Amino acid sequence: MTPFSRYSCVTLFGLLLLLGSVCHAQKVVKLGFLLPYPEGDSAVPQRLADEWISAVRVAMEVLAPDYESAFTVEPFVKNSRCNSTAAAAAAQELVDGGVMGVVGPACSEAVAGANTVFKKAGMPYVSFAATANAFADDVAFPTFFRTVYADQHQARAMLSVIKYFNFKHVNLFHSAELYGRALSGDLKRALGDAATQIEIAYPGTDNPADYEPYFDGVKNGEGIINVFVTLPNVAENLWKAAYNLNYTKFPWWYLGSDGAVAFDLVTDGDELNHLTHALQGEIGVAPYKGNYHPRTSPFVRFMDFWKEKSHETYPGLLSLDVSPRYTEARAYVTNLVDAIWAFYEAFNHIITVNKDDVTTAAIVDCFKDKPSGCLRFDGASGTMSFNNVTGERDSEAQTPEYGFYNLIDQTWKEKSKWVLNKKEGINPNLEYMLRPGPLPAGWRDNLTHQREAPQAIIPKMSEIGAATYNDIQAAKNVESASSSSSSSSSGGGGSSGANTGAIVALVLVLLIVVCFLAYGAFFLYKRYKRHPEHQQFVRML
């Protein structure tokens, strides 16, 4: 039995337990899932695949009570990998099994394969992570829908990053599959001669040495960025090759697309831990995560439910035991929740409003808003509805948003948000911006939080790409000594730190004075109210 089939049995058992508590419902609707799992040529790392499967369980367990009076959902999970042939075979199994709709696939290559089956069967399917622009063709993909935005928006977000940092040349490393070629092509057309494309064989091997030749002859230097437009496993092998070549130090710098930054940074093992240290300061772009919204976000109840579960039965970063402070889902989890939620909403409308049986044709009509008002809800990733012609996520209902991320420790920390038609730029929080190399004037150093890195630690910062945590602590100690020396030599008069301290002290003194005066006024008022003679005296005045 393969790892996926073992996991599927456990997952399906957990999902099917939902049915026992709601057996009195009027209808049972079969819903299929095409999810990638690390098997064969799958490009998705295991932890991310595990998190997606957990997200399916969480979404169904949270949503089930809301709809149990009308229907229950019976899940069928198949492994689509990121391979068109595997996805087509899995899609056929779901069609033969009588499902009314399918959540997935995640990868663009898998969508291309599954579509040959779903188009013929008239099967509605909703992808939560396939972003290739080609899927907006309603003739070629008539039953395809997605809760993510097409890569035309991601390309614009990445171009905003390139423009913001004023990179003079871009090395575009892209995997030789639908997603990588299409997004890289969009960037190349926009950048023209300022970009060089390097195509990476796909599926390729898992040997980093095989990826080292791709770096031969690429331009290198300050003002040059290396962009990875690849699937997660390709990005991991490219970064391992760069590490082996000593290409993770200044001035080498990397920008990852959503696929590249999805590679697994928290996998155990010395090799990847060293790689994680080496990649401190790299940057990336990915869809903005719904869990960053205020506590009123609809995703909060899914997060709260998930965080109460054990990591063993509901694996994922929300319950990751090695990082208890990490309370975020990873890329596309909110979109996956909304893909499932969309089917629940469609089932409910067809059964309770239309008073009809759930069919594949009825679901397609509902998703395309026939009749009007069939599908629109506030989901985990924002207001959710589909374009009634193309099946794209409706960008008028919810404006496309992308996050700009900086790799610090073991996580991609959000530094800014790119929003379509709202300046279309980024404005990173530079106070905590880390990059491999000396900091340009005006930046804040992640280690010292000063506007300009002290000269004493610039050599260390220039090697931060290969720094270990001991190096980082040593840099902090050097900075502390440097600050003490600077303070004593200046006599306390010219230090920005001293000025800040003086301002803080003055504010505290003013607050104390205000509090004292307020208390005095209150005391006099109370005495005035208690003693009539005082009131008479005041009236005489």
Q: Per-residue pLDDT tens for 283-315?
A: 999 987 654 445 567 888 888 888 888 878 888
- How many CA atoms, within 13 angstroms, populate the side-chain half-sphere of residue 100? 25
Give the whole-angstrom CA distance, residue 62 versus residue 385.
20
* pLDDT at position 373: 78
* Among 221, 524, 214, 255, residue whose Cα is nearest residue 404: 255
* Among 142, 151, 219, residue whose Cα is nearest residue 179: 151
**Tokens in use for 65?**
């009570």
* pLDDT at position 194: 95
How confident is the model over 449-506, as pLDDT tens digits? 443 333 323 223 233 333 333 433 444 444 444 444 444 444 444 334 445 556 766 7
Give the whole-angstrom CA distance, residue 340 versus residue 349.
15
- Rounded to 5 degrees, φ, ψ at 16 are -70, -20
User: Tell me, what amino acid is at 219?
Assistant: K
Residue pair 87/17 in contact (Cβ under 8 Å)? The answer is no
Residue pair 533/523 in contact (Cβ under 8 Å)? The answer is no
- Rounded to 5 degrees, φ, ψ at 473 are -65, -40
Other C-beta atoms within 10 Å of 539: how many? 7
* Among 281, 214, 221, 215, residue whose Cα is nearest residue 466: 281
Residue pair 115/141 in contact (Cβ under 8 Å)? The answer is yes
pLDDT by residue for the chain (541 residues), tens digit each? Answer: 444 444 444 444 444 444 444 444 469 999 999 999 866 556 788 888 888 999 999 999 999 999 999 999 999 999 998 889 999 999 999 999 999 999 999 999 999 999 999 999 999 999 999 999 999 999 999 999 999 999 999 999 999 999 988 899 999 999 999 999 999 999 999 999 999 999 999 888 889 999 999 999 999 888 899 999 999 989 999 999 999 999 988 889 999 999 999 887 755 555 557 788 788 888 999 987 654 445 567 888 888 888 888 878 888 765 444 444 445 667 789 999 999 999 999 999 999 998 999 999 999 999 998 877 799 999 998 899 999 999 999 988 988 988 888 887 777 887 888 888 766 666 665 545 666 655 443 344 444 444 333 332 322 323 333 333 343 344 444 444 444 444 444 444 433 444 555 676 677 778 787 777 776 776 666 655 555 444 443 333 3
Residue pair 150/182 in contact (Cβ under 8 Å)? The answer is no
Task: Indicate the angle between helix axes 333-348 and 46-67, nearest 10 degrees.
Answer: 30
* pLDDT at position 7: 44
How confident is the model over 1-10, as pLDDT tens digits? 444 444 444 4
